[in-house]
Chain A
Amino acid sequence: MTAIPVEDAVEVADDHGSDHHDDGHHTSLGLSNMKLAMWLFLGSECLLFGALISTYLLSKARFLTEVLAGNPEVLGTLPANLIEEFQAEGSVEPLFDIPFTSASSFILLMSSVTMVFAHQAISKNDQRNTRLWLATTAALGSVFIAGQVYEFTTFYNEGLRFDGNLLGSALYTLTGFHGVHVTVGIIMLLSLLVLAFRGKLNQDRAETLELVGLYWHFVDVVWVLIFTIVYLIP
């Protein structure tokens, strides 16, 4: 079976560990089972997020239509000042604090960079830097989550309820669902960190770290989409 280069960048990173027999050369595609499985899982996740993003776009559009048409059922779910701003702008932009969310998005994107550093470190069997960058990645992810908690609190205080109207349901669901993914990622990073401190995260486990990295990068890329669609496009 000819080897099909599925992801060159990832394969290059695999050059460590020539004695590491599960990393490719026995499988039909030359890609390890776990990595292939992770890619398939992430492909599946794309559809999940795709469905939720579509739901958000539809719900926001229907919400705005009702607000602009002055549907009392919808207007009754929001404080008057927010309604006036929505009606004046013809969009839900007034709800958002773009500079704040841009900053937290930047932090999340940077965590992808530190994740790459962690992977490079473990490829060189550099335990100290592996721990350092894993911890940094987890910390940056946590800052992002803290930002989201702050943001949700602000939305709530401004009067946007999850069970109030379509916008609340869709916005909290989409961003919250992403937040759950980031949280799961942080838990995986912290688990790796515990392994690292117990000295169990050696070079042969580099692939485990790489898989967590794949997941982490995916979650970041999805955030770029969500940030653009939810916050930036009016």
Chain B
Amino acid sequence: MAVIEEPLALPSGTTKARRPLGAFSRPRNATGLVDWLTTVDHKKIGIMYGMAAMFFFIIGGVAALLIRLQLAAPNSTILSADTYNRVFTMHGTIMVFLVVMPIGAAFANYLLPLQIGARDVAFPRINAFSFWVFLAGGLMLNSSWFLGGGANGGWFNYAPNNGAAFSPSTGIDFWNLGLFIAGIGSLSGAVNLITTVLNMRAPGMTLMRMPVFVWMTLVTQFLLLFAIPVLTAAQLLLLLDRQFGANFFNVTQGADPLLWQHLFWIFGHPEVYLMILPAFGIVSEVIPTFSRKPIFGYPFMVFSGIAIGFMGWGVWAHHMFVSGIGPLSVTAFSVATMFIAVPTGVKILNWLATMWGGKLILNTAMLFSIGLVTQFTIGGLSGVTHAVAPSDTQQTDTYYIVAHFHYVLFGGALFGFFAGLYFWWPKIFGYKLNEKIGKWNFWGMVLGFNLTFGPMHILGLQGMARRMQTYDVSMGFNLWNLVSTIGSFILGVTTLLLFVNAWKSYSEWKAAGRPNVGADPWDARTIEWSIQSPAPEHNFDVTPTVSDLDDFWHQKYAEDDEGKLRQVATGDELAQPGNGEGVHLPAPSYWPIVLAFSLPIVGYGLIYSLWFCIPGTLLTIISIYGWALEPADDLDIDDHGHGPDQEMEPAV
């Protein structure tokens, strides 16, 4: 935070009576629950993102197990066709928007400022708002379970099926408005994090010295910045169609329902890259650390990520090969899709080359990273087969597609996130996760995952359509479906081992008198390891000055006279002591959470009665003004007019 780095105008403890603009005080000394509800600390917000995502992960996981239970045997009637539609739709929607995206946001929030040497993000209050509005949207979406059943149009929610004529129940409305609201959070988060990375780097932290994770998150946030508004536009059209009788997808008026598919996938394909890139960033930190080598081809890592970010915009219609978009379009998108495999392949090769000849330490974080590299490669290869349009025509809407995207999203993104959790857990919570349970966690998930999704390749090529509620004995799908269901329960149980591990490791750590895990338990490379664990509230005692890529490593290791690499200092010797005296942090605020939860009131109003929109809108307006007129969060800023994020109108 540019402002806070300045010497303070006032000695700490002195308060000023002047309230320059507003009459609302900020909850400066809040504790307990109020502290969490009003915090603007990027680390706490990151933890809350992670916890909320895990909460939704359990809901989405239960939905997944219900699907597998229904499909375990032919002609099963555990779920009715209608319930089945709702369960798979909610499963997909929750996993994409409320699990994978927010876990990425959790890591981004926690790590970005630490990795670039900043005190916090550029706009701490907007950061809190981004989280709360994501949670508000997610809760609103999930409230549909109790208010007439979940959405039932698939996570892509194609028109014209999503219209009031074909989907009269309110599930689609909850899908539409819940994601609309959550999207506002993604957008404001993107603006915030991009500004943070571009503008708040520590001295010497040039763009090409940033950790790969920071780069991948930057690309991710740019994708969000430009992808979310396209989805928002599509959702606005759907909202007007469903609630106000517009005709955008009304075929009887000559509308083209393919418009929805185009808009959705122009958003949706960048979306798949913005789900995987944070995980790519995470393993790009984990693999060098546990290979005891620098990342191989850092510039290639960076530029391949940027290339993926750009090319991700030119491949959306490969989701639409069977929709009749014409041979020329099919050819163009087919070629583009094959081409985008190149930068992804570059990354795989660079990870392999990083490990090649390294002194591999195969702990849980490293195993999960290798799991990503392996399983993502399988998913990537099946993805390339979709690029071949004639082949894709056979695979579309079969379980082959389901197998593909689970290999990249679960086998790729989630394995990467698990690697990140095991790796950064000591930095976040101050103790390491148990390695023994961790290895059970990993191997159980590998087994369960491949048993669940491997057979789906076969089922898909046999012709089993996705989204079908059941199948007949005579179709020959019995065996692999049963295997897949068994696998899914192994996967479910072993995934829960993460929670068991967290609880057990915490209890043992507590019983042992909370020993200090040390600033740098992994002998790692980047500057977030140069501060105490768990990270102190103020991050860095002194803003670090960076002179290398992997700066912390270069402080610890140097070449001796014979050119041999020697350790010159340990991480704990170099670590900052964690003394935050004289550091002024942004003050917490009530307004982000109030503003965030005023939006669903408008949303419910749009669904049930427009009268509800009035208090919702009023509360929204009050919160915006309350926010803008709140006293500046730093005492000395009042003299200069505005604080770091004061007067910034929230995005949208």
Contact = CB atoms under 8 A, between A and B. Distances in A.
A163 B2 contact: no
A36 B21 CA distance: 25
B253 A165 contact: yes
Contact of B256 (A1, A21, A33, A58): A58
B166 interface: no
B21 to A, nearest CB: 6
Given A28-B198, A40-B191, A44-B226, A33 B2 contact: yes
Contact of A29 (B199, B266, B625, B644): B199
Contacts of B6: 21, 26
B233 A48 contact: yes
B256 A20 contact: no
Interface string B193-206: 01100111100011
Given A36-B198, A44-B228, A204-B641, A55 B253 contact: no
Contact of B642 (A41, A163, A170, A205): A205
Contacts of B250: 166
A62 B254 contact: yes
B244 A41 contact: no
B195 A166 contact: no
B252 interface: yes
Contacts, number: 160
A21 B640 contact: yes
A31 B651 CA distance: 19
Given A28-B200, A58-B259, A165 B195 contact: no
B246 interface: yes
Interface string B223-262: 0011111101110110011001111101011111001000
Contacts of A162: 244-246
A170 B191 CA distance: 29
Nearest to A206: B641
B109 to A, nearest CB: 16
B446 interface: no
A132 interface: no
A51 B195 contact: no
Contacts of B252: 73
Interface in B1-51: 2-3, 5-6, 20-21
Interface in A181-221: 188, 191, 200, 202, 204-205, 207-208, 211
Given A44-B229, A162-B246, A173-B246, A204 B642 contact: yes
B225 A40 contact: yes
A44 B187 CA distance: 8
B192 A37 contact: yes
Interface in B99-149: 122-123
Contact of B199 (A36, A43, A65): A36
Nearest to A51: B233
The secondary-structure label for the interface of chain A is: helix
Given A26-B5, A41-B191, A163-B245, A20 B198 contact: no
A71 B247 CA distance: 15
B4 to A, nearest CB: 10
B248 A22 contact: no
Interface string A54-75: 0100110011011000010110
Interface residues of A, number: 54
B263 interface: yes
A126 interface: no
Contacts of B397: none
A166 B191 contact: no
B199 A51 contact: no
A40 B190 contact: yes
B8 to A, nearest CB: 13
Given A28-B201, A44-B226, A204-B641, A22 B3 contact: yes
A40 B232 CA distance: 16
B467 to A, nearest CB: 27
Contact of A47 (B226, B248, B651): B226
A19 B6 CA distance: 13
Given A27-B2, A202-B641, A74 B254 contact: yes
B246 A21 contact: no
Contacts of B233: 47-48, 51-52, 55
A105 interface: no
Nearest to B5: A26
Contacts of A163: 244-247
Contacts of B3: 21-22, 26
B614 interface: no
A168 to B, nearest CB: 8
A48 B254 contact: no
Nearest to A209: B647
A2 B105 CA distance: 29
A89 B645 CA distance: 53
29 contacts: A21-B6, A21-B640, A22-B640, A26-B2, A27-B199, A28-B198, A28-B205, A33-B200, A36-B198, A40-B194, A41-B651, A45-B229, A47-B227, A47-B233, A48-B230, A51-B263, A55-B248, A63-B253, A73-B254, A74-B253, A77-B253, A162-B246, A166-B250, A166-B253, A191-B628, A200-B20, A207-B642, A208-B642, A211-B648
Given A29-B199, A163-B246, 13 more contacts: A20-B640, A21-B2, A40-B194, A43-B226, A51-B230, A52-B233, A52-B236, A59-B247, A162-B244, A162-B245, A163-B245, A191-B628, A211-B647
CB-based closest 4 A-B pairs: A204-B641, A163-B245, A51-B233, A26-B2
